[in-house]
Amino acid sequence: MLPPRGNKMMGYLNYRMRITLQDSRTFIGTFMAFDKHMNIILGDCEEFRRIKPKGQEERQEKRVMGLVLLRGENVVSLTVEGPPPPELQQHKPSVPSGDGGGRGVGRGMPAMGGPPRGPPGMQGPPRGMGGPPPRSMVPGGWGGPSRPPPRW
C-alpha cells in the first residue's frame, strides 16, 4: 500500500508499529493518530523495557498499556511491525450520494419574519433611537420621489 500524497504518516494509520523512545523503551501498538509535533497515539499497546541488574544478566520486562500518548520530543524511531487488520484495510468511508440538487441548510430553527435578534439587552438600541431617521437611507434623499442622479 502506497502512502497518500498529502502526508506519508497518514499511510501508516492502523498499522502495527514499533516505536523506540530516548530512554530505550519500546512501544508496540496500533498507530492511531499523530500531530505536527509528532506526538503519537497507540492503541492496544505494550511496553518493553530492558533491565540489567548488577551482577545478573539482562532481562526484558513487558507491560500491557492499552491506549498510550507518546510525546514526539522523545520519539527516536518508528518501525512497521505489521499491516492493519483485514477488516480495517478494506473499509473505505463513503459519502452517501444525493440527487445533485443544492439546498440551503439551516440550524434547525424555523425562519421568523425579520432579521435575527440576539438575547434581551443585546439587541441594539430601541426602534427610533440612535440611528438615522426613517427613510433617510432610501435612494433619492429624504423619502421624496426618486429622481435620476445629476449629470456633470
Question: Which residues on adjacent β-strands are paired with residue 78?
Answer: 19
Q: Is the pLDDT of residue 114 over 90?
A: no
In which order are the strands placed within the sheet that holds 40-51?
Answer: 59-70, 40-51, 26-34, 16-21, 75-82
DSSP string covering 53-90: -TTS--EEEEEEEEEEEE-GGGEEEEEEEEPPPHHHHS
Q: Is the pLDDT of residue 110 over 60?
A: no
Nearest Cα to Cα of residue 15 among 67, 83, 101 = 83
Least confident of 26-30, 51-55, 102-106: 102-106
Q: Is 12 in contact with 3 (CB distance < 8 Å)?
A: yes
Judge if pTM exceeds 0.75: no
Where helices occur in the chain by DSSP H, the ranges are 86-89
